[in-house]
Amino acid sequence: MSSSVLYDTPGPKARLRNRLYTVAGSLALAALLAFVVYRLDAKNQLDPKIWNIFNNAGVRTNIRDGVLTTLKVFAAAGALSLVLGLLLAVGRLSEHRPVRWFATGFIELFRAVPLLITIYALWVLFLSYKDDLGVVGDNAAFWGLVVGLTFYNGSVQAEVLRAGINAVPRGQVEAAYALGLRKYQVMTTLLLPQAVRSMLPTMISQLVVTLKDTSLGYVITYTELLFAARTMASNIIVNGDNPFTAVVIVVGAIYIAMCLALSSLATWIERRGRRAKTGVAVAAAEPPVVLDGAR
């Protein structure tokens, strides 16, 4: 029945018992689901009137703008964090001590501090130096969020890349130096391509984390999807109450769909990478040649 090693292929008795558990488990799950639906219904949350708000053009525009803003922050922070991660990873492996120390300190500091605190501190900083910073001052919340996400995720991406670089066999680097390649040539033509290739799934998983963390913009009142939805819900009144539940369910579904799409990309790349490990296709073996008199 299954490939699991934890239990045998069930015999007649075990099949009966498993079937019993299956029925009991299904009943328990159905009961749980029914309880949730019952409670939702008892609190009038399944009223068609509440769910009808999603037919309203304004509500839809609000949600769409929220999604677009979230994606905008994600695109900016994702791209910047990859660049910063690259720089920090190379910096941490540098032969120059000050560069190495700076990169190490930066990575350790921003990995240790909760992202929310970084974002909040940057936001307050940007707000208080609004006039000096010019462009930044106009949308301090956006830049606070993007720079905070970049610092944290860049540090994590740097560590991922460094692990990838260290995983490249030492002999390859020695061979490259023996061929007369320079330091930056070794890094750009030999180490980084292999590191990126082997670490791509992990890097994309970290991008999923970046996408999820854009919701921290809620705390600094930046109107990404979560904050937009919350503000919208508190401005709508259906049956004398705000439709928080319905809006949260819809927004949650959107977040889950976005994250699943991104992480399935990671899984796909991982599977693809496993299929051709070296990147060089091995030619199929020729059919054996049978000599005439060999038999």
Toward other proteins, which CB reaches closer, 20 or 276?
A: 20
Among 113, 168, 196, 238, binds other proteins (CB under 8 A): 113
Per rule CB under 8 A, is residue 39 in the interface with other proteins? yes
Among 86, 93, 173, 248, binds other proteins (CB under 8 A): 248
Task: Report d(CA 25, CA 19) in Å as an integer.
Answer: 10
Interface with other proteins in residues 183-242 (CB under 8 A): 208, 212-216, 218-219, 226, 230
Among 45, 62, 150, 206, binds other proteins (CB under 8 A): 45
Per rule CB under 8 A, is residue 104 in the interface with other proteins? no
In angstroms, what is the minimal distance from the CB of 143 to other proteins?
A: 15
AA letter at 65: D
Among 238, 245, 269, 270, binds other proteins (CB under 8 A): 245
Among 160, 195, 251, 266, binds other proteins (CB under 8 A): 251
In angstroms, what is the minimal distance from the CB of 60 to other proteins?
A: 20
Per rule CB under 8 A, is residue 260 in the interface with other proteins? yes
Which residues would be at the binding site for other proteins (CB under 8 A)?
1-2, 4-8, 10, 18, 21-22, 25-26, 28-29, 39-40, 43, 45, 109, 112-118, 120-121, 124-125, 128, 208, 212-216, 218-219, 226, 230, 244-245, 248, 251-252, 255-256, 259-260, 263
